[in-house]
A and B are shown apart, each in its own frame.
Chain A
């Protein structure tokens, strides 16, 4: 079945550091790919998405590019802030298979220190 593998952490960075969170996937069809973020005490929020190969999703300074050849969707940010401290989840939805469910990775907790 479909699956997502991502860096698990936890990771602690200093403010203004560069962030990369690796994510690879396995899917039978042509999935859409997502990054969700969960801030402390809140629900998951969609951070960015990409629906086809070579698409780049971006939001709040974060970027991720859908790489079909490497089945990857790595999340990057050039300069993290304390407010980026959260848990980050990579996910896919293989909608061509008819399912609407999201398949998630295990999540990675990021702490950014001032």
Chain B
């Protein structure tokens, strides 16, 4: 069974540009989470989908970030326009049931220059 996959693994963009990150959860997992780790700091929660619905988006830093999960399968996280402080590693995780074990992807390293 394939694990959580994320694309791209690395992205380098200039300030003001747009970037879209993709996450494919484990097949059959209704719950999908996004987290972010800024250099030297904690991994922080961004939001949680249950199928295609946003269950909790309390961690989204501002309206430059837009997450979608059309059809309840893969999810995208768009940053528009990107700022320098958005640099970090973005992790996606999925779980089969509510409050179940979260399985993480390898992350996307985003560098904004």
A interface, CB within 8 angstroms of B:
4, 36, 41-46, 89, 91, 93, 95, 99-107
Contacts and interface: CB of A to CB of B under 8 A. Distances in A.
Contact of A95 (B37, B56, B99, B102): B99
Contacts of B107: 43
A106 B102 contact: no
Interface string B26-65: 0000010101010011111100100000011011000000
A101 B45 contact: yes
A104 B99 contact: no
Interface size class of B (residues with CB under 8 A): 20 to 34
Contact of A101 (B33, B42, B101, B106): B33
B98 A106 contact: no
24 contacts: A4-B42, A43-B3, A43-B91, A43-B104, A43-B105, A43-B107, A44-B91, A46-B102, A91-B43, A93-B99, A99-B56, A100-B55, A101-B33, A101-B56, A102-B33, A102-B35, A102-B45, A103-B45, A104-B35, A104-B43, A104-B44, A105-B42, A106-B40, A107-B37
